[in-house]
Structure 1
Amino acid sequence: MAQRDELQQLPGPAGIIEACWENAESGRGQWPQPLVAVIAHPHPLYGGAMDNKVVTTLARMYRRLGVAAVRFNFRGVGASAGSHDQGRGEVEDMLAVVHWAQARAPGSALLLAGYSFGSAIAAAVSERAAARHLALVAPPVDRYPYAPGGDFSCPTTIVLGGVDELVAADAAAAWARQRSRVTGVIVLPKASHFFHGQLVALERELGTAVSAVLSADPS
């Protein structure tokens, strides 16, 4: 039986990138081609890391959908080399992880996800790597550039907390609904920016949305 979680050290633009590959659960999500999701963690300068509870919840969600998941630490976090680069180098870090994941699973389709700061990085990566779906959790759309061309490059689902202390849910939802590639805006009424007590709801609602997108276009 394959080990579920495999810690990895990958070559990256600033040196080693620490990552964790999580195998899809067998018998789940019988998709026509293998799928792999790469997930970006929140801001490194505020304690963000790949073991963040929202990030691990997203990884579990993907596994249960039959999708392999990759979590990783940005430069300067955990065992990853380098230092914080204000988002510029972090985009390159995630691209390196994407390329590694696709080489490990040849022929796999790519899903991207990110939480808070990580959502901005995932959105930027989606402009440079062909993805089947992009999931943005608590995206601070007023602080970072999202969809600089006016829209996203792939089907996108956005999850917002109704009582988020850092992201104004109403304004972010209105912004998202102006983008035609946004296939769903999920507002969890009781969720803060940190999703305390709301991880089950996050996994359930986003998992349903991701499954619907993949089922609508299973190729």
Structure 2
Amino acid sequence: MPDVILTGAAGRIEGRYSPGKTDNAPIALILHPHPKAGGHMNHPVSVQLYHLFMKRGFATLRFNFRGVGRSQGEFDSGIGELADAATALDWLQANNPAAAQTWVAGYSFGAYIGMQLLMRRPETDGFISVSPPTNMYDFSFLAPCPASGLILTGGADTVVPPVEVERVVSKLRTQKGIVIDYEVVDKATHFWAEHLPFVEQTVGGYIDKRLEANPIP
């Protein structure tokens, strides 16, 4: 799991990278929660997502948004962070030009950035959004959503109540050509402290299902 340093619009971007197991291995980008709420790339949910893709042979990258850890710059209310994510995806693609698939996975604020990123990157094949903050940010930009994916939230989430997430899920499910899987984990909070095994089970099962339906040659 080598440390990597990328060059972003605000300067240095600190990341962790796991190369794929084959030349055409799919790629996955992992996005961490809100920097102003203590979010960083080593948050347990972000690390869990990273390992889920890494164990399946993906070339996987997680990184710190600007102003976090050794990444330079300052928090930019989501605008600069989206630019950081685009830079990271560019780097992943440049280092894996034969990648069979492209995935974006994010947790909380990272899920919001991830959903914006996939709107700008039509080559994205799948996404994972864990606890997307649908009551804090306007998700109406998902019109239409360009890829199928999984949205996972906690049944006891008081930061983003499930009803707020369901509102966005219901809208996305009216679109043709994509399939949105939606899972609510009973008793899990926004922070998943005692429910990380459910993240592993649900997200891992979803990735396996998608790979089985569309195997890597």
2:59 corresponds to which of 51, 56, 68? 68
- Match of 1:190, SS state, is coil
Whether the 8 Å CA contact 1:112–1:122 is kept in 2: the answer is yes
CA apart distance, 1:216? 1.9
Match of 1:193 among 166, 190, 193: 190
Q: TM-score, with normalisation over the residues of structure 1? A: 0.90
Does structure 2 retain, via aligned residues, the 8 Å contact 1:177–1:185? no
1:158 is aligned to 151
Residues 28-70 of structure 1 deviation map (CA, whole Å, 9 limit, x = unaligned) = xx9x941111011000011000000000000111112221211
Return the match for 2:113 from 100, 121, 138. Answer: 121
Shift in Å at residue 74 of structure 1? 0.3
Find the counterpart in structure 2 of residue 144 from structure 1: 137
Give the partner amino acid of 1:43.
H
The aligned amino acid for 2:102 is L
CA distance in 1, matches of 2:152, 2:31: 15
Q: Does 1:11 align with 2:7?
A: yes
Could you list the runs of 4 or more consecutive aligned residues of structure 1 that deviate by over 4 angstroms after TM superposition?
A: none
- Segments of structure 2 that go 5 or more residues without pairing to the other structure are none
Worse-superposed segment, 171-180 or 114-123: 171-180
Report the aligned-residue RMSD. 1.7
2:151·2:183 contact (CA, 8 Å) conserved in 1? yes
**Inter-partner Cα distance in structure 2 for 1:153 and 1:191:** 29
The match for 1:50 is: 41
Q: For residue 200 of structure 1, what is the amino acid of its counterpart?
A: P
Secondary structure of 2:127's counterpart equals: strand
User: Counterpart of 2:34 in structure 1: which amino acid?
Assistant: H
Map residues 33-112 of structure 1 onto 2, 5 A cutoff.
33-108=24-99, 109-112=101-104
CA contact (8 A) 1:50 1:71 kept: yes
Alpha-carbon distance between aligned partners in 1 of 2:10 and 2:136, rounded to the nearest angstrom: 25
In structure 1, what residue type is equivalent to 2:158? E
Identity over aligned pairs, percent: 32
Q: Is the contact made by 1:65 and 1:207 (CA closer than 8 Å) also made in structure 2?
A: no
One-letter code aligned to 1:215:
E
Cα separation, 2, equivalents of 1:211 and 1:177? 24
Question: Structure 1 residues 149 and 203, CA, compared in 2 at 3 Å: closer, same or farther?
Answer: closer
Residues 158, 182 of structure 1: 8 Å contact kept: no
Q: Judging changes above 3 Å, is the alpha-carbon distance between structure 1 residues 135 and 44 closer, same or farther for their aligned structure 2 residues?
A: same
Query: How many residues get paired?
Result: 210
Provide the C-alpha distance between the structure 2 equivalents of 1:125 and 1:11, rounded to a whole number of angstroms.
18
